[in-house]
Structure formats: C-alpha cells, structure tokens
Structure 1
Amino acid sequence: MERRLSELARVLSRPSGVVSSDFPLIEKAASRMGISYDLWQQGLLYLMFGKRADGLYACGEGGAVISICRQVGKTFTVGSAIFILCAGRSGLKVLWTAHRTRTSDETFQTMCGFARNRLMARYVDHIRRANGQQEIAFRNGSRIMFGAREQGFGRGFDAVDVEVFDEAQILTVKALNDMVPAMNVSPNPLLVMMGTPPQPGDPSEQFAAKRADGLKGVDGMLYVEFSADRDADPDDHEQWAKANPSYPKRTSGKAIERMRQSLGGVDNFRREALGIWDEDTGVSAIDPDAWAKCEVAEPDSAGRLSFGLDMPPDRSALAVGVAVRHGDDTAYVGLQEYRDVRSKGVAWAVDWLAERWPKTCAVVIDAQSPAMSVVPDLMKRHVRVTITQTRDLGAATGRMLDMIHAGTLQHLDARQQPQLNAAVDGAILRPLGPNGASAWNKKGSDVDISPLQACTLALHGAFTSKRHPGRRSKAVAL
C-alpha cells in the first residue's frame, strides 16, 4: 500500500496557516502530460506551494528545505512542478542553480524534455543552450535560467520569484548572500533547497543551519528529511525503503547496489544513499562565540608588525592581512587591504609593502598561494619575503585557532571587516598529512577565505620572524 509523506519522512516540519496550494493546478496539468506523482510527492509539492489566507507562500520566509538521498527523483519532482507553474503563470522568473556544472547541465536537459512534451511545447517560446546562459523562455514571459555556482552563476539578477538551490550541501553564506537579495522585490518569493547530507569538508553551513531550524520546528519554513536509521545496516533493504521513498517502485534494488559499489566507502553510502547525517557536520572550523569574544573596538597597535598576502584560486582579489604581536604575546589581526585584482592589479601591493617595510618584521606568503606572483617584484624593492611550506602552514593555522580559543587574539567587529568575518564564517579545515596538522580549506568552496589566510600568515610572521626593525615596540599607523 502506498504511503503518504508523513509516513515516509523521518522529519516533517510544516509551515503553519496553509489554506490553499498551487499544487492542484500543477497536478492537473501534469496528468495531461502523462506525469503522475506518488502520494509522498503530492504531499511534498502541496506543502512546498502551500499558501496562507493572504495568498503568500507559507514557507516564503524560511524556504522549502529537503534533505534526501540520491536516486529518488527529486529533480524530476520539483522540476516538473516548476516548469508547469511557469507555463501557467505569466512573468515568473526562476533561477535553478547547482554547485557543479555537470549537475546544472543534467537538470537543464531534463527540463528541455518537458519542453518537448506535446502538451507543453506550445507554451515554450525558445530555449537558449549557450554555456552560462542556459534558459527556457515561455510565451507568457516566464523564464527558468540554469547555472552552476562554481562558475559564479546567480550574481547580478533582480526581480527573481523562485530560486532553487540544488546540491545544497555545498552552499555557503557568500553564495546565498549573492543570490537571495535578487528576490527582494518579488511579491511572493519562494526559495527551495535540496541536498544530501554533507561530507566532511563540504561548505555546508547554510544547509546545516536550515536543518537545525527544521529540527526545532521553526515556523515559516518547510523541512523534510528522508533517512534510514542512524545505526542502519547498509545492506538492509528495509533501511533502503526508509531512506528512499522511490524504492522499489521507481528506484530498483540494482540501482542502489550499483551506487553501493561506486560511492567508495560505507560512510559515503550512508550519507548519499541512506540520507544519514554525520553526528557533527562541522559548519565552521572557528567557533563563532569564541571569535566574537575576541572583538575589540580599538586594537592595540603597539608591537611587532607583520603582513601576510593571499589570493583566492581564481586570482580575483588580493588580500593583505596585518598582525601586531604585543609584549605579553597577545596579538591583533585584521584585514588591512582587500582589492579587486581585475580592476586594480597587484602593483599597488608592492608599493604599499615597500613603503612599510622599514617598520615591518615580516611579509609572509604561502608557497602554494597565487600571491607568489608578487614575490619577484617585492624582492626588487628589497622586501624580504617569508615563504611558508606545508609544515609552517599547519603551525600557523594551529596558532590562529589556539589564540582564538584562548581569547588572546584581537580583531575588529564584522561591520568594519566584513570580508574577514565572512571568511571566518565559511572556513573549514583540510588535513595536511598523517600527523594531525590542518590548514584552512579553500578548494570546493565558493567562500573566499583569502582574508583569513592572509591574517593567519601575518600572525605567523609576527611570532616567528627574527627581524627587528629599528622602531620596534612603538605604535605604528596601520
């Protein structure tokens, strides 16, 4: 006997006040297209598009958030509903984003299949297939645009009505902040987040925070989580049915067996095929409360002055961090400069550091950083650059974390240093080897952590440099 959403979902937190929904109209059109939704899909879509008495989406405040395993058909379920909604309602603007280009391309192809349906084809005006500009445009003025967050898609749009974040387990504060304001002027916005439980190292702070709200039953959002039991035997077919509402009707046992073989490890299978969250997803490497306690209104600028440089992998910006080591071995760190390389270049940094070198004990750059490109020009200006290797980087990151937790590191508040604060919020750790050393993770993340890395390197220089400028231990102008 087919089961309802409430019988299948491990967690179902519904928004209050739902008196109507767009779903009955969507289901009617879907039926004419030859699409039939299972009971759990019907319940999910009814709540996702559920409205209160004022006509606004009941989950318009916190969004519709779905934690679900792979091979369930979530893209087909949500994608078909949104396609039908756009065909029937004029002027809707939808952004559909995934983290990876491949996922975004696959979703676009699925949606193009809907456009080829005999019933729906007459509603479609044109399909644009150019990379980075993939779009399905409808005759009534509605549009669905597709793109990958790893390629920067989503910035600069406005008047967006619906935003769908696929692969939400790889979604950072910066990506969300880039895109959510685009819905500010929509009269009835809807945000949808879909993903599997994150792997260690995934920049999953937003998805984890939404899950936490869902587990607490925060109103104004829809949260649905499908998963097997935490202690599930990965080969237990009954647990497969708990995690995957499409098994065995639409997803075969052979398909799950193939996934079991291809995912490479039981932990990945537990997350991606059984929907089981790790006990601690580690939304940030730096405890926000400990960081907040280090905040000062006016930093102590007397001490040993050091600078660190870093750039994100795409070389879009250059960050200059500053550190001042005080006589009692406390310190201040801050983001001294952060400039767009595409418009400002990097020559300014060479002049800027050369001017301050006589009062500086160290200028530090990591050997693997794109900022290494400025080293030859700094050397020509007689600035001695300290270049960190893997061992140094592990020690520098460890010192930064230790001082934050000990409360011996000062920094300015978030309003004065927004880029540094965003980097701290989004920082995760990556192992450097078998001995337990770690460094800030930047790969696979769309958060720019170069401000944090620059400050970490500056702090390392302030504590390890043997250079003693002539005017040490005096206040310096930062």
Structure 2
Amino acid sequence: MMLTVDGAARLVVPEGCHSTQEPSLNALANAAGDMMDSWQRQINRIALASTDEGMWAARNVVMSIPRQTGKTYDVEWIAIHRAATIPRIRIVWTAQHFSVLHDTFEDMCSRAARHEMSTLVDPEHGFSLAAGKEEIRFRNGSRIFFRARERGALRGFKNIGLLVIDEAQILSDAAKASMLPTQNRAWNPQTFYMGTPPGPRDMGESFTRQRTQALAGRAHSVLYVEFSADRDADPLDREQWRKANPSYPTHTSDEAIGELHDQLTEDDFRREALGIWDEHSTTAAIDQTKWDEATVDRRRAGGLPAFGLDMNPERTRLTIGACMRYEDDTAHIELAEYRDTRRDGTMWAVNLLAKAWDNASAVVIDEQSPATSLLPELNNAGIQVTVTRSTDMGRACGRLQDMLRDGTLTHLPEDGQHQLWHAVRKATIRPIGKSGMFGWNRPDDDTDISPLVACTLALHGAMTSQRDPTRQQEAWY
C-alpha cells in the first residue's frame, strides 16, 4: 500500500496496514454524487486500513488541518460509510458547541437523504430532528448520534464503535475522560480527532499531547496528519495558503480565506487558516528533569521570606506559596498552605499572613486572580499587598524557569507537596503579549495550578521587594 498524503506538513503512519476500505468508501460517495480529492482519498486509505487480523491499524486518527479545507466533509462520509457497512454500529459525532454540531448534522442529513441513499436510509423515518437528540438511523440498525459537549455530551451512551471528536483543539481532559469509556464494550472501535492548533485561551492540552506523542514516535496505532504553512509565512502569501489548505484554490476561494484574514486576529489566522502551531504549544511549562534536580530534603536556615496567594477559578481552593531568599541570591519555594474554601473559608489565609507579615519582605497576588477578593481584608490586617500585572507575571514565570535551569532554586520532595508537584507536571504555558513572555496555563478544567502560581508569585516578591522587615525569625507562619 502507498501510504503518503501529498502536501502534508507532518504525517505519522501506523504500523501494520494490510488492506483498506477506502475504495468502498469512495464508491459510496461517488454513487451519491460526491467526489473526493486525492488528499482526502490518501488520508482515508490510511485511516481505513486494517491489520492482517482485521483490526483498525489506526485506533486513533488525529488531524490538525485548517478551516475550510473539507476535512469535515471527508469524515462525514467516513461516518456514513461505517454506518452503511457495519450493521447496528453506534456512532457518535461530537463538537464543543451546538451551533457547529447542528451545521454538521444538517449537512450529513442532506447527503443521507439523497435518492441514491434510499436503500440505506429511510427518507421518512431515518432522521430525528429533535433539538439535543439529533440522529440518523440506517435500515441495517446502525445509528449516528450528534451531541454537543457543552450540553453534557455522552451521558448514558455505551458500545460506541466510532467516535468523531470535532473542535478537538478545545477538548478538555475531563471531557475526553468522560467520552472514551463509551467505547469499552465496542468491537474494534475507532476515534477521530479533528481540529486546528489550539490558542492560548483553549483547553488544548489533550490535542497538543496527541500531536507531541505522535511526532516523537511515542504513540501507537495512531494516524497523525497535519497541514500547515511555514512558521515564518507571510499571512497573505497565496503559496502559503496553498501549502496549508489542500482544497485551495479548487474548492476554497481567495475570497473565503481573505474573509478569514479580515475577521480574525493575525495570531488566530495563523492557527485557524494556516494551521501553524504556537511555538509554546508543545512545550511543557517546566522541565521535569530540572525540577527533579532542584529537590532538597529540607530548606536551608536563614533567609528572608515572601508569600504568594492564589485561588483557582472555581474559588474552591486557596493557596499560600512561600519563598525564602538567601543572601547569595538563591531561593527556596514551598507550598505553605492549600485548603478547601468550601470547608475552611478564606479568612484563615488572612490570619496566617497577618502573623507572618512583620517578618516578610512581600505578600503578592496577581491582578487576575480570584484571590484579589481578599485585598480589603488583607489591607485591614495591615498587610501591604503587591498586586502584579501581566508583565510582572511574565517576568516571574521566566525567572522561575531561569533559576531552575541555573540551579539557584530549590524545593521540597513530593511527599507533603503533592499539589505543587501535580501543578508543575500538568501546567502548560500561554503567551503574554508578543515579546516572548508567558504565564502558566491550566490544561483542563480539572487541574488546579494555583500552588504553582502562588509559589511563582512568592518568588517574584522575594526577588524584587525592597521591604526590609525590622526583625527576622526562622518560622514562616
């Protein structure tokens, strides 16, 4: 089998491809009046390849392809073909937003309702149009369900043979974890992930991790396909449009891409229309090796303490991070306190910081943190809080990485500090402005990075504050 995709910037092909159902898929689409482009047929040839045992060679198909190329059109036919050829298979198509999902549902209905498809789909009873219960039913008992992730997605579903995940760049780990078990009892299941490079506001760690693992050769039974322009591409260069969009200019016009350019920011256009991934998108926030090397059994005596305060977006966890700065400009960070606000409230943090303030160089909160709600109480307690802005956070995160790299920062072992270690392992980075600055970013709704943020703020306060407490003592709080 020829296993190439013309024009793909990156391609990872699974091992064991023996035969493929692509000719059968192409024949069905042709019979219904649709034609596939060569690049679509090439992707389908690999995506629908089986091993010599009859299992899908690509258990997971991951596609990073710009908007307005025809990738949805292609996978729509894959879902229709799968339903038509495997009796009683259950297929689920998901997207984050209902509006996107509904457009796909209407498009697939228009194909399945054609006269040429009447032997496969009953034109009168084959479609459920009820909002939130959209479905296409085939005469052989197969069904294609359409569910929006923002509405709870797959509650109650099981035995899903094909799962199509659209808008994969905003698929959270929590949503993914709730969907994949629906395939546990299905025979030879397959999952398709379709998306564009995630932006800094997207919960894109899952999609990013799949790309990273595929390109590093650590993914098994995966087909990864990426179309993109060059990283330094001129956004108005038509040759770069052609490189990123295999349907340009045959099916996607100058006007269509030009409209995207006019409506999107330059960064969003690079992701959505040119398929260019952010430089930091595949980079873990903190080098785990450097973090491990910075571990010490106990902090050194002496030094001047500073504190950082942060709260998760859900306002359920409140964290105090601590940093000890030494005369040689080295520093040590620790997770000082981490509590559930639903059980303990928030005043405990004010009380602890009030006791420590006389001996501290700084107490720091970021202006975007929910913990700013405590500013009045902290001020009333006589604490002069330093409120950081985005550029301060960018410098603080960069300083933490630099000190880890240079061996001038230490921290405690994971035992007793596991919330901080978990945040370090999970945190990604988000660009701040265009100067190379970045901040910590949580990869999904279930990850709490406030311990890392609080310690980073404490480090910032320790290294920048000019406050000199009148007396010092060993205890921090």
User: Which TM bucket (shorter chain)?
Assistant: 0.7 to 0.9
Contact 1:440–1:453 (CA under 8 A) maintained in structure 2: no
Contact 1:307–1:457 (CA under 8 A) maintained in structure 2: yes
1:90 to 73, 77, 88: 88
CA distance in 1, matches of 2:43, 2:69: 13
2:247 corresponds to: 246
2:64 corresponds to: 67
1:252–1:437: structure 2 CA closer, same or farther, 3 Å change rule? closer
Does residue 103 of structure 2 align to residue 105 of structure 1? no
Q: Tell me whether 68-77 or 230-239 shows the greater mean CA deviation.
A: 230-239
Q: Tell me whether 364-373 or 406-415 shows the greater mean CA deviation.
A: 406-415
Contact 2:335–2:420 (CA under 8 A) maintained in structure 1: no
Q: Which residue identity does 2:105 align to in structure 1?
A: M
Per the TM alignment, residue 189 of structure 1 is displaced from its structure 2 partner at its CA by 3.7
Aligned pairs for 1:76-87 within 5 A = 76-86=73-83
1:408–1:317: structure 2 CA closer, same or farther, 3 Å change rule? farther
Per the TM alignment, residue 320 of structure 1 is displaced from its structure 2 partner at its CA by 0.4
Does residue 225 of structure 2 align to residue 224 of structure 1? yes
1:308–1:135: structure 2 CA closer, same or farther, 3 Å change rule? farther
The TM-score, its normalising length taken from structure 2, stands at 0.75
Q: Which residue identity does 1:11 align to in structure 2?
A: R
Aligned pairs for 1:373-452 within 5 A = 373-377=373-377, 382=381, 384=383, 386-390=385-389, 392-411=392-411, 417=418, 421-422=422-423, 425-431=426-432, 438=437, 440=439, 442=441, 448-452=448-452
Aligned pairs for 1:25-174 within 5 A = 26-27=25-26, 29-31=28-30, 33-60=32-59, 63-86=60-83, 88-90=86-88, 92=90, 94=92, 96-98=94-96, 101=97, 104-115=98-109, 117-118=112-113, 119=118, 120=121, 121=123, 124=126, 126-130=128-132, 135-136=134-135, 138=137, 140=141, 142=143, 144-148=145-149, 161-170=161-170
Does residue 353 of structure 2 align to residue 350 of structure 1? no
Per the TM alignment, residue 274 of structure 1 is displaced from its structure 2 partner at its CA by 3.9
Contact 2:76–2:108 (CA under 8 A) maintained in structure 1: no
Contact 1:312–1:370 (CA under 8 A) maintained in structure 2: yes
Structure 1 residue ranges without an equivalent (≥5): none
1:323–1:76: structure 2 CA closer, same or farther, 3 Å change rule? same
1:302–1:179: structure 2 CA closer, same or farther, 3 Å change rule? farther
Per the TM alignment, residue 428 of structure 1 is displaced from its structure 2 partner at its CA by 1.6
1:367–1:230: structure 2 CA closer, same or farther, 3 Å change rule? closer
CA distance in 2, matches of 1:369, 1:317: 13
Contact 2:7–2:246 (CA under 8 A) maintained in structure 1: yes
Per the TM alignment, residue 459 of structure 1 is displaced from its structure 2 partner at its CA by 3.2
Contact 1:306–1:461 (CA under 8 A) maintained in structure 2: yes
Structure 2 residue ranges without an equivalent (≥5): none
Contact 1:64–1:191 (CA under 8 A) maintained in structure 2: yes
Q: Which residue identity does 2:39 align to in structure 1?
A: W
Between the two proteins, what is the percent identity of the paired residues? 33
1:13–1:324: structure 2 CA closer, same or farther, 3 Å change rule? closer
Q: Tell me whether 462-471 or 241-250 shows the greater mean CA deviation.
A: 462-471
CA distance in 1, matches of 2:241, 2:423: 38
Q: Deviations over 1:23-50 (max 9, x none)?
A: 4554455445443323322232232232
2:334 corresponds to: 333
1:370–1:465: structure 2 CA closer, same or farther, 3 Å change rule? farther
CA distance in 2, matches of 1:350, 1:321: 12
1:300–1:89: structure 2 CA closer, same or farther, 3 Å change rule? farther
Contact 2:173–2:444 (CA under 8 A) maintained in structure 1: no
1:326–1:181: structure 2 CA closer, same or farther, 3 Å change rule? farther
Per the TM alignment, residue 224 of structure 1 is displaced from its structure 2 partner at its CA by 1.8
Q: Deviations over 1:88-141 (max 9, x none)?
A: 54352535234xx3xx522332223323542445674634424xxx65374747
Contact 2:93–2:145 (CA under 8 A) maintained in structure 1: yes
Per the TM alignment, residue 216 of structure 1 is displaced from its structure 2 partner at its CA by 5.2
CA distance in 2, matches of 1:250, 1:185: 40
Per the TM alignment, residue 323 of structure 1 is displaced from its structure 2 partner at its CA by 1.5
Per the TM alignment, residue 331 of structure 1 is displaced from its structure 2 partner at its CA by 0.7
SS of the aligned residue for 2:248 comes to coil
SS of the aligned residue for 2:256 comes to helix
Q: Tell me whether 320-329 or 164-173 shows the greater mean CA deviation.
A: 164-173
Per the TM alignment, residue 261 of structure 1 is displaced from its structure 2 partner at its CA by 4.0
CA distance in 2, matches of 1:276, 1:395: 26
1:262–1:387: structure 2 CA closer, same or farther, 3 Å change rule? same
CA distance in 1, matches of 2:388, 2:229: 43
Contact 1:311–1:370 (CA under 8 A) maintained in structure 2: yes
SS of the aligned residue for 2:250 comes to coil
Please, what is the CA RMSD of the aligned residues?
Answer: 4.4
CA distance in 1, matches of 2:292, 2:40: 43
1:365 corresponds to: 365
Contact 2:442–2:448 (CA under 8 A) maintained in structure 1: no
CA distance in 2, matches of 1:387, 1:472: 22
CA distance in 2, matches of 1:10, 1:395: 34
CA distance in 2, matches of 1:217, 1:166: 24
CA distance in 2, matches of 1:86, 1:73: 20
Q: Which residue identity does 1:108 align to in structure 2?
A: H
1:55–1:316: structure 2 CA closer, same or farther, 3 Å change rule? farther
1:175–1:239: structure 2 CA closer, same or farther, 3 Å change rule? same
Q: Which residue identity does 1:79 align to in structure 2?
A: E
1:287 corresponds to: 287
1:408–1:231: structure 2 CA closer, same or farther, 3 Å change rule? closer
Q: Which residue identity does 1:96 align to in structure 2?
A: T
SS of the aligned residue for 2:320 comes to strand
1:236–1:373: structure 2 CA closer, same or farther, 3 Å change rule? closer
CA distance in 1, matches of 2:171, 2:428: 13
1:177–1:112: structure 2 CA closer, same or farther, 3 Å change rule? same
CA distance in 2, matches of 1:184, 1:373: 45
1:308 corresponds to: 308
Aligned pairs for 1:196-235 within 5 A = 196-197=196-197, 204-215=204-215, 220-228=221-229
